[in-house]
């Protein structure tokens, strides 16, 4: 039996140490790395791997560099039962495999946790970016600006955008809200505060004490009439179109006598500057005053005189601007096709204008005044015209001729002499300051009066004029409604809409459209002009003769 045990032992002693350790399947690359490690006598331990190895025979732990030597001695040092060795080897194999499985599970859990952390970090980054964007949008959605008015020793105004206003030290302060759209389509609520600083020059200018009692009688004549607000506004515009400087001053002065008509005067002058003349250098002052009056600002006599001066200077302008002379012909076509452009309705923000032209440059103040006027609304045609001219002037000021445009604005609106202004103010307000053209279809039923029915002489005259003029679009009989439409168009092109100012850049190649239509409709206007003049004379006289004004 012993010999058989020796034979078994001898047979077993011929086995290598690799027979006692489970071999893990690996790729060719892993085998190559293992061979290199064996040749170099070094072994790179994995992270958290123990340097001790357990002998499969005696189950004792030895350093991995000594395990081979110990195993050979342990094998040759005595006999052992192969069955017991197999059982121990099997237990060791199961133990090592379970450890490897546990290790793989730990690695999977670790990788899962790391991926979860990365995902959470990405979510936090997204939330942070979204929060930052929200804060930036919130800052853009609420904007505050302050427009401060001051006067120098000579009484000339100065406007500037400032960061804040000391309300306690201001002589006046009021705020209005403007709905704007910033870059990226972000809606912005801009709070625009207008104020006057409390220095001595400003106090002197807004002091309403009248030390000259000799003007009391003359001042009273400006309220001795029953002209409505609409008639006064119409008279103001018709006088400007016909370059009647004195009557324009006196009509504006009459409108300053009541708060409602004074507000209408300021608003209308800004439209007149665009429609019937050119940009006036004092438009920013009118915009400031318009906001202030809407916030119960009480204007002094000197401020009202400034408004009358601006009105008379608009009448004295030699040229008018039709808004079609831009940087190049391509932009001219774009303005003519504004009806099909969706961006026309979007006004530029005050901040964007300041970024382009500077915080308080002349260009910025002029365009800002137009933006504020458009924000205050009015007739649809007026607001659309303001938006178009804002685009026009932004392009003009962006061009290389920007300084030239400012010179043209100032040269067309020279400041009137103070002596001349006093003479115009000293003259009483009379019915002859109201032009007959002011009584048109906008403020009265003059068309219905002139073309009363189909049996009237004026209706028959209009029919004859249409036949003689050979209108291409007029076929068959003219009814009463169509006759009144033609009479209204004829009044506009031949009377109330006539502007005696020359175009800034007259058209050389083709005849002006208004001139062409005036020639075409002139026979129709002449057919009822006599009756229209009689109606206007009576309407004006009744509102002055009541107070025995001549």
421-439 tens-digit pLDDT: 999 988 999 999 999 999 9
| Residues present in the chain in total | 550
Half-sphere exposure of 481 (CA within 13 A, CB side): 0
CA distances to 43, 82, 285, 302, 347 from 39, rounded to whole Å, are 10, 32, 94, 106, 81
Q: Which long-range contacts (CB under 8 A, 24 or more apart) does 479-483 make?
A: 479/454, 480/451, 480/453, 480/454, 483/451, 483/454, 483/459
* Model confidence at 357: pLDDT above 50: yes
CA distances to 33, 43, 486 from 46, rounded to whole Å, are 13, 9, 100
Q: Which helix (H) or strand (E) covers residue 481, if one does? A: helix 480-491
How high is the pLDDT of residue 46? 59
pTM of the full predicted structure?
0.71
| Residue 282 backbone phi and psi in degrees, to 5 | -95, 15
Using alpha carbons only, give the angle 246, 248, 252 rounded to the nearest 5 degrees. 120
Smallest Cα–Cα separation from 386: which of 368, 375, 374? 374
Which segment of 146-160, 299-313, 379-393 scores lowest on mean pLDDT? 146-160
> What is the chain's percent helix, strand, coil content, to nearest 5?
60, 10, 30
Mean of the pLDDT values across residues 337-343?
A: 45
Strands 157-162 and 52-54: unpaired
Query: 435, 239 in Cβ contact below 8 A?
Result: yes
277-290 tens-digit pLDDT: 999 999 999 999 99
Within 8 A by CB and 6+ apart from 142, the residues are 188, 189, 191
Structure tokens, 80 = 């052992």
How high is the pLDDT of residue 77? 45
Binning pLDDT at 50, 70 and 90, where does residue 537 land?
A: very high
C-alpha dihedral (464, 465, 471, 476), degrees to nearest 10:
-20
Q: Please, what is the average pLDDT of the chain?
A: 78
Which segment of 61-75, 217-231, 375-389, 481-495 scores lowest on mean pLDDT? 61-75
Please tell me which residue, 182 or 294, carries the higher pLDDT value.
Answer: 294
Q: Which long-range contacts (CB under 8 A, 24 or more apart) does 332-341 make?
A: 335/388, 335/391, 335/392, 338/388, 338/391
């Amino acid at each position: 039996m012993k010999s058989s045990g020796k034979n078994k032992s001898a047979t077993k002693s011929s086995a290598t140490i690799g027979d006692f350790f489970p071999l893990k399947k690996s790729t060719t690359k892993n085998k190559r790395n293992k061979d290199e490690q064996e040749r170099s006598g070094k072994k790179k331990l994995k992270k958290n791997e123990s340097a001790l190895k357990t002998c499969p025979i005696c189950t004792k732990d030895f350093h991995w560099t000594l395990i081979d030597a110990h195993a050979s001695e342990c094998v040759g040092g005595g006999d052992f039962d192969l069955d017991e060795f197999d059982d121990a080897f099997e237990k060791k194999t199961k133990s090592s495999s379970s450890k490897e499985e546990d290790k793989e599970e730990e690695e999977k859990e670790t990788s899962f946790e790391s991926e979860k952390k990365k995902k959470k970090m990405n979510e936090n980054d997204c939330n942070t970016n979204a929060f930052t964007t929200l804060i930036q949008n919130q800052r853009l959605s609420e904007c505050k600006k302050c427009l401060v008015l001051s006067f120098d020793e000579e009484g000339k105004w100065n406007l500037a955008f400032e960061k804040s206003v000391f309300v306690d030290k201001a002589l006046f302060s009021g705020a209005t809200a403007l709905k704007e759209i910033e870059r990226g389509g972000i809606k912005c609520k801009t709070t625009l505060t207008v104020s006057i600083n409390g220095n001595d020059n400003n106090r002197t200018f807004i002091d309403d004490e009248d030390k000259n009692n000799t003007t009391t009688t003359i001042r009273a004549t400006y309220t001795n009439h029953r002209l409505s607000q609409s008639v006064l506004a119409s008279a103001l515009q018709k006088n400007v179109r016909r370059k009647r400087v004195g009557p324009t001053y006196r009509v504006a002065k009459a409108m300053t006598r009541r708060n409602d008509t004074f507000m209408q005067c300021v608003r209308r002058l800004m439209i007149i500057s665009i429609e019937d003349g050119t940009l006036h250098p004092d438009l920013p002052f009118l915009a400031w005053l318009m906001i202030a009056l809407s916030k119960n600002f009480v204007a002094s006599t000197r401020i009202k005189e400034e408004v009358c001066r601006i009105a008379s200077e608009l009448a004295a302008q030699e040229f008018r601007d039709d808004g079609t002379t831009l940087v190049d012909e391509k932009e001219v076509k774009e303005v003519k096709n504004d009806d099909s452009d969706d961006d026309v309705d979007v006004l530029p923000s005050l901040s964007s204008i300041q970024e382009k032209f500077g915080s308080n440059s002349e260009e910025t103040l002029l365009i800002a005044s137009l933006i504020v006027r458009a924000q205050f609304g009015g007739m649809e045609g007026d607001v659309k015209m303001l938006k178009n001219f804002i685009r026009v002037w932004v392009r003009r000021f962006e061009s290389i001729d920007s300084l030239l445009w400012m010179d043209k604005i100032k040269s067309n609106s020279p400041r009137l002499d103070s002596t001349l202004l006093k003479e115009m103010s000293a003259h009483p307000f009379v019915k002859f300051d109201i032009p007959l053209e002011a009584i048109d279809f906008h403020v009265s039923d003059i068309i219905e009066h002139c073309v009363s029915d189909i049996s009237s002489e004026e209706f028959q005259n209009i029919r004859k004029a249409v036949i003689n003029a050979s209108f291409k679009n007029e076929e068959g009989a003219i009814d009463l409604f169509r006759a009144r439409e033609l009479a209204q168009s004829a009044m506009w092109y031949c009377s109330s809409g006539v502007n005696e100012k020359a175009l800034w850049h007259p058209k050389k190649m083709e005849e002006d459209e208004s001139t062409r239509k005036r020639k075409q409709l002139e026979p129709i206007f002449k057919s009822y002009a006599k009756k229209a003049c009689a109606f206007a004379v009576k309407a004006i006289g009744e509102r002055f003769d009541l107070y025995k004004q001549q």
